[in-house]
Structure 1
Amino acid sequence: AENLIGKTALLEFRLVNDSSDAQAVMTKAENMDAPPLNKDGTPTPEIAKLLPKGSGLFKAAPGPEGERTRYYVLFDSVPVTGAFLENARVATDQQFGTPNIDFTFNKEGGKIFENFTGANVGKYLAIVLDGVVHSAPVIKTRIGGGSGVIEGSFTMEEARNLAIILRAGALPAPVNIIEKRVVGPELGEDSIKKGVSAAGIGFILVVIFMVVYYKAGGLVADIALALNFVLLLAAMSYFGATLTLPGIAGMILSLAMAIDANVLILERMREEMALSKPVAMIIPTAYDKAWSAILDSNVTTWIAAIFLFQFGSGPVKGFAVTLTIGLLLGMFTSVFVTRVIYEFWLTSNPKELSI
């Protein structure tokens, strides 16, 4: 992330020169053996003498692998730049699911952009970022509201970094690194050890509480919880996940959700026992009545985890992944595994439940 600090991106909106001379230059540039642009972005002498007056040659962002590099001839006039940006954020294309960057202009920039697009309906508008054309859509109508979208072949990380850089470019003053410190790995190791210890102590206390408060029913819940914990560790090992503090937090929360599901089932059993129902009816009825609440709580948490994974950074994504896996395993152990245990116990024709 250090390379993003103090870095800004130059965002420009330029009209595409679609004259016959410009088309000839673009065709020639795309079919040349040598690059038509120098390293500093200026056109080579062969291209420069062919360019229409008041225009420049720009390279397009890389397309799919194996596709020929495209070039655009754009007018030199830059009516709107990133200096008018108020905000930039990552968004997802509703049709293809690819990451884009939504941007918003300030009041002055929005007015300029609206007038500019209104005066050039039917023409192509190139969105240029650091001298590279990322898209060149046609202006179909006057664009009001002071907002727009930058589309391109971005990964989620590239889009996120680009949004950060664009926002930095809108700052009134540059950001410089004055001091930099490196934190040794011992601090992280110590934090993880404390996190593991806290999780272990909490796990043991929950196990004891469940047995004391719910007796045999609590023991069944503890068996499911232990299996959930083992399966969660196995899943993390299978996917090659590294144990981090956000990951530990995700594990703890998923285990808490699992034990909460067991508590809902056990409390339903107590309610059915109070109605003096036979044991053979208590268990299936309790599971049926508790299921909707269990499903609702897990689904809402899954939705939150999906948003965290989609829009969060690395540690937050780790938390979301661990939580999602833990919730799936928790549903399996809390509902299916415990139900199997009770069904097996019912074969002995018990007269009462120890809850």
Structure 2
Amino acid sequence: MKKVLAIVLSIIILFGWYATLMGVGSFAPIKDQIKLGLDLSGGVYVVMEAQTSATGEELKSLMAQTQAIIENRVNQMGLSEPIVTIEGNNRIRVELPGAQDAEDAINSIGKTAQLQFIMADNTIVLDGSQVKDASTEMDQQHGGYAVALKFDSEGADAFKQATEAIIKGQVVSKNQGVPDRAIMIVLDGEVISSPVVNEVIPNGTAQITGGGGGFTDDEATNLAALIRGGALPVELKEVQTSVVGPKLGLNALEMSIIAGVIGILLIFAIMIIMYRMMGFAANIALLLYVLIVFWVIVAMGGVLTLPGIAGIILSVGMAVDANVIIFARVREEILNGKSIRVSVASGFKRAMSTIIDSQITTIIAGVVLYQLGSGPVKGFAMTLMIGIIASVFTAVVVTQLYLSLMAENKALSKKQYFGIKEGATNV
């Protein structure tokens, strides 16, 4: 069973590396799938601070609303993978890969949003200035959540007239895919929702439901935030701006890749020289480790930055360190006169507590860095934590699988293959 598992795992690793580097069919190579931060791809980043005295939950709500509005704006700029994050309590960090003009980017981010309610025939019903509030509530009809709207007197009047016209069948859609009875909610030229009118709404309130299953809490909260944000809910002051040239980013990426490849090749060579067959098993585990780290980053939608690459390289060192601890324990058992098979099993058991303790403390540090740090620090912390978890898995499971198979093979279960001279002993 172990042999079959080892063969299957080896095939997976080989195929995984081929797919990662070359791609398979419609599956693109990793270089086309992984998102690169500004320090690698070039562009503009802006850090803005909210000018408000709000605190606690009120500040948290303001920042979430501001983030939602800015995300919608930067997505309209046609740039690849814009990133908008909240830093600390009252700052917004906006990263715009591919942007070249910092001033233009700041103007686009800080502009007043254009919120409109438009019927299917393109008649404008009202705008964001006539919306008093938008909040979330339970959707009693469909389950889940809904968005409750409140209009001012002028908006209530306009909304009543619009819904009357729709119910009477006086509206004919001029937009493909929009039913005649819909009222489109448009923010900065983009339709963010198209609720269908089921009755005349005369009292200045309305409810937007998600249809069959209602909205999720997150969907309803985000939609309400976008509707409330006819303009930014708080003034933002620019506190930091930087433009990263694409040439600098490209050079940094190339040098990082070269350094990473050289470092890993050196590690492979040293492991085989120092630990012979044990080093060979560790190298197989490390190949899987690198695959896991990069594809988890892609799956999570993470952004790779220079600090993130540093986190990966550091976690490679920790993965090697875990294997070195295991190999030291195995050697001690062999030198104490135990058989290779028994030494491998007991060596792993003795090493586990040390490995787990050291990795847990590093994960705790990574969590703290991720929670309290800014963008680049978060990137470092994220890749470090992913790398640590992957390193424990590959060291404990993969290395042990291959070593146990070697220990059970008569031709390979010799002391010299484990870096120990025949006849050497501690007893």
TM-score (norm 2): 0.44
Aligned AA (2:281): V
**Deviation for aligned residue 1:333:** 1.1
Q: Does 1:354 align with 2:414?
A: no
**What RMSD, in angstroms, separates the aligned Cα atoms of the two structures?**
3.9
The corresponding residue for 2:335 is: 274
Shift of 1:67: 4.2
Map of 1:154-193 to 2, 5 A cutoff?
182-193=243-254
Offset from partner CA, 1:61-118 (integer Å, 9 cap, x none):
9565524669xxxxxxxxxxxxxxxxxxxxxxxxxxxxxxxxxxxxxxxxxxxxxxxx
Deviation of 1:183 (Å): 3.0
For residues 191-210 of structure 1, what are the structure 2 equivalents within 5 Å? Answer: 191-210=252-271
Q: Which of 34, 43, 48 is 1:4 aligned to? A: 48
Q: Does 1:287 align with 2:331?
A: no
Contact 1:247 1:318 in 2 (8 A): yes
1:66 to 134, 143, 147: 147
Q: Secondary structure at the match of 1:348?
A: coil
Q: Which residue of 2 aligns with 1:131?
A: none
Q: Size of the alignment, in residue pairs?
A: 219
Structure 2, gaps ≥5 residues long:
1-44, 56-127, 138-145, 152-220, 223-233, 420-427
Give 1:251's aligned residue: 312
Per-residue Cα deviation, 1:177-223 (whole angstroms, up to 9, x for no partner): 8x976332221222222222222211111111111111222121112
Q: How does 1:1-355 map to 2 (within 5 A)?
A: 2=46, 4=48, 8-11=51-54, 66-67=147-148, 182-349=243-410, 350-352=413-415, 353-355=417-419
Amino acid at match of 1:66: V
- CA shift, 1:286, in A, is 0.5
| Structure 1 contact 278–351 (Cα < 8 Å) conserved | no
**CA distance, structure 1, for counterparts of residue 376 and residue 273 of structure 2:** 37
Identity of aligned residues (%): 35
User: Within 2, Cα distance between the matches of 1:259 and 1:8?
Assistant: 48
Shift of the alpha carbon at 1:327? 1.6
Q: Take 2:398 and 2:47, find their aligned partners in 1: how far apart are those partners?
A: 50
Pair 1:185–1:342, CA change in 2 (3 A): same
Select the structure with the greater relative contact order (CA < 8 A; seq sep ≥ 6). 2
Matched letter for residue 404 of structure 2:
E
What is the match of residue 190 of structure 2? none
1:60–1:265 Cα change, 3 Å = same
User: Could you say what secondary structure the match of 1:270 adopts?
Assistant: helix
Corresponding residue number in structure 2 for 1:97: none
CA distance in structure 1 between the aligned counterparts of 2:291 and 2:260, rounded to whole angstroms: 14
* Whole-Å separation in 1 of the counterparts to 2:47 and 2:311: 30
TM-score, length basis structure 1 = 0.52
Asked if the contact 1:196–1:248 (Cα under 8 Å) also holds between the matched residues in 2, the reply is: no
1:256-278 Cα offsets, whole Å, 9 max, x none, are 11100000011111211221111
Deviation at 1:300, TM superposition (A): 1.0
Q: In structure 2, do the counterparts of structure 1 residues 310 and 354 end up closer, same or farther at CA, with 3 Å as the change threshold?
A: same
Tell me which amino acid in the other structure corresponds to 1:4.
M
